[in-house]
Structure 1
Amino acid sequence: MSATGPGPWDIVDRLSAWAKETPWCDWLELGGSLARGGGDRYSDVDAALGVAGDVPLPVACEAVLEAAGTFAPVADSLRQNFGTDPAPAEHVIVQYADGRQLSLVVLAAADRPGAPPGARVLLDRSGRLAGTWLPRQLEASSGERREWAFLSWVNLGDAVKHARRGTVWRAVHSLGLARDYAWKLYAASRGLEYPEFGPVTVETANVPPPPGIEDTHPRAIEPGSISSAALSLAAVLGPLSEGLSVEGVRAVTERNLRSAGGDVTGSAPRRR
């Protein structure tokens, strides 16, 4: 991305102007770091668009892609089916040639009961966004936090198992999954909005990372280093798991970590 060319706000302005000139665009909201005032020229444009009337979502998405191509030269684009709460939607991703990116959720206007916290309303013809809408992802339920803790410990145990076998890339993959869930737990423990986005949420909120998280990354792709990183992640994960009813899986994984301490420093025969 150019350090001197147009930034993401140019895309926001062009998208807003197009939506205001397009009658079936009922509302447009901006999200992410730009909406919260913490973005910079490297920020993606995260937005949502409400489609009014009888315009089918696929037709609206094609119109969005056509319009987006007039904002700046496009390198590529993608449309995804996107399940949102409370109704399904489509997700349009536009990658501009200069490195900027537009991520736009397109849904029926009536399916949004208000604006989520942190969003900036750019257009609201019918007043649907006048109220506040609390999406399910805004905070984690106790069930979600238990699920994250359980899966983190399970993946941590898998990392140890694969390190013992010498299947180091599977070990690194499992370790990364375990760390991702730990980040989510940490964001939830700090009371941050949208904790399921883990490190994105933490850094957007300018909150310090979990103490010791840097040691959970292996220094080398070999069993001993992976085992050391796994032990460090267990130390991070322990306090985050308290009170979440995962004592059983935690005990098994911690036992395997202790027993693996003497035999993961060398490569083992590979197994499938």
Structure 2
Amino acid sequence: MGDASGPWEIVESLTRWAEGTPWCDWLELAGSLGRGAGDALSDIDAGLGVELDDGASYEDRRDAALAAARTFAVVADEHIQHLGSPERPADHLVVQYADGRQLSLVVTPAENRPGLPPGAKALLDRSGRLSQPYEPPVLRATDEQRREWAFLSWWALSDVAKHAGRGRVWRALEALHEARTGAWRLHAAVAGIDYPSFGAVSAENADVPAPAGIELAVPSAAAPDALFAAARALAVVLEPLTAPYHVDGVRAEALRRLAAG
């Protein structure tokens, strides 16, 4: 389901409201629409920086932004995810419109954003905060993060073998998903694409081919034998991806358990 006008009508309504609201300092569009790759089913990923210099509270600004979002189309449901901290607040306003469109708007004090990240588009920039490029910490993966992904991927494969061996197929399936997510993250990091922590999402957005053989890491059934087979296939995928990160101990244990299953 989706409105025939697609998401751009919501983007235009949000932009008009922000331009007409003096305490809205900046507005950015991210996600597929920000990259110019969106379609009629794309949700609206946006960020809003609000000024507090007139004595209004951050909560007042956030609630006013949500009230505005309710006017853009008929609302079917909504939710606020509280992000950040008391010292550095941010909230994710998630709005489901009745016609199927979806708004994902992060609101934060304007000074929290030092620039415009890759893949985003400035829709409003009163004070010039978005005039400079900004690389958020999640844009690239550090060596420490890569080693963590490598370690936890093999650890998760050990859990697949443990749970599948006990007949706990749903726990094994969850562990397999964790290990596969780690493989996608490492694959994205090796490919040098932005935001590797988003794994398959970032890889597909960048049109990067999947790791060779990862399709075999999807089990054919929620059954122990199928889970063991998928886990062994994923181990083959993980070998070259994790080799640089010296996780031999946890790797060896995962392979031992998979061989014994």
Q: After TM superposition, is the score higher than 0.5?
A: yes
Q: What TM-score, normalized by structure 1, do the two folds share?
A: 0.92
- The runs of 5 or more residues in structure 2 that have no matched partner are none
**CA offset at residue 247 of structure 1?**
1.2
Are 2:138 and 1:132 equivalent residues in the alignment? Answer: no
Question: Matched residues in 2 for 1:206 and 1:257: separation?
Answer: 32
Matches of residues 100-115 of structure 1 in structure 2 within 5 Å? 100-115=101-116
**CA offset at residue 83 of structure 1?**
2.7
Are 2:185 and 1:184 equivalent residues in the alignment? Answer: yes
Partner secondary structure for residue 192 of structure 2: coil
> What do residues 147-206 of structure 1 show as CA deviations (whole Å, max 9, x unaligned)?
011111101110111111111111111111111111111111100100011111011111
User: Aligned letter for 2:189?
Assistant: A
Determine the structure 2 residue equivalent to 1:33: 32
Determine the structure 2 residue equivalent to 1:16: 15
**CA offset at residue 248 of structure 1?**
1.1
Matches of residues 137-152 of structure 1 in structure 2 within 5 Å? 137-152=138-153
Partner secondary structure for residue 242 of structure 1: helix
Determine the structure 2 residue equivalent to 1:199: 200
Question: Matched residues in 2 for 1:259 and 1:64: separation?
Answer: 56
Partner secondary structure for residue 70 of structure 1: coil
User: Aligned letter for 1:9?
Assistant: W
Task: Please list every run of at least 4 consecutive aligned residues from structure 1 whose deviation after the TM superposition is greater than 6 angstroms.
Answer: none
Partner secondary structure for residue 133 of structure 2: coil
Question: Matched residues in 1 for 2:225 and 2:68: separation?
Answer: 53
User: Aligned letter for 1:38?
Assistant: A
- Contact kept, 8 Å, 1:79 with 1:90, in 2: the verdict is yes
**CA offset at residue 87 of structure 1?**
3.7
User: Aligned letter for 1:257?
Assistant: L
Question: Matched residues in 1 for 2:67 and 2:81: separation?
Answer: 16
Partner secondary structure for residue 46 of structure 2: strand
Question: Matched residues in 1 for 2:35 and 2:260: separation?
Answer: 47
Partner secondary structure for residue 220 of structure 1: coil
Determine the structure 1 residue equivalent to 2:252: 251
> What do residues 225-245 of structure 1 show as CA deviations (whole Å, max 9, x unaligned)?
000000011011111102112
**CA offset at residue 69 of structure 1?**
1.3
**CA offset at residue 101 of structure 1?**
0.8
Partner secondary structure for residue 91 of structure 1: strand
Question: Matched residues in 2 for 1:179 and 1:60: separation?
Answer: 40
User: Aligned letter for 1:194?
Assistant: Y
Matches of residues 145-160 of structure 1 in structure 2 within 5 Å? 145-160=146-161
Partner secondary structure for residue 129 of structure 1: helix
Number of residue-to-residue matches in the alignment: 258
RMSD: 1.4
Partner secondary structure for residue 230 of structure 1: helix
Q: What TM-score, normalized by structure 2, do the two folds share?
A: 0.95
User: Aligned letter for 1:41?
Assistant: A
Determine the structure 1 residue equivalent to 2:68: 67
Matches of residues 236-247 of structure 1 in structure 2 within 5 Å? 236-247=237-248
- Contact kept, 8 Å, 1:57 with 1:90, in 2: the verdict is no
Partner secondary structure for residue 194 of structure 2: coil
User: Aligned letter for 1:22?
Assistant: T
- Contact kept, 8 Å, 2:141 with 2:197, in 1: the verdict is yes
Partner secondary structure for residue 102 of structure 1: strand
Determine the structure 2 residue equivalent to 1:52: 51
Question: Matched residues in 1 for 2:58 and 2:179: separation?
Answer: 37
Determine the structure 1 residue equivalent to 2:225: 224
Partner secondary structure for residue 71 of structure 1: coil
Determine the structure 2 residue equivalent to 1:267: none
Question: Matched residues in 2 for 1:58 and 1:91: separation?
Answer: 12
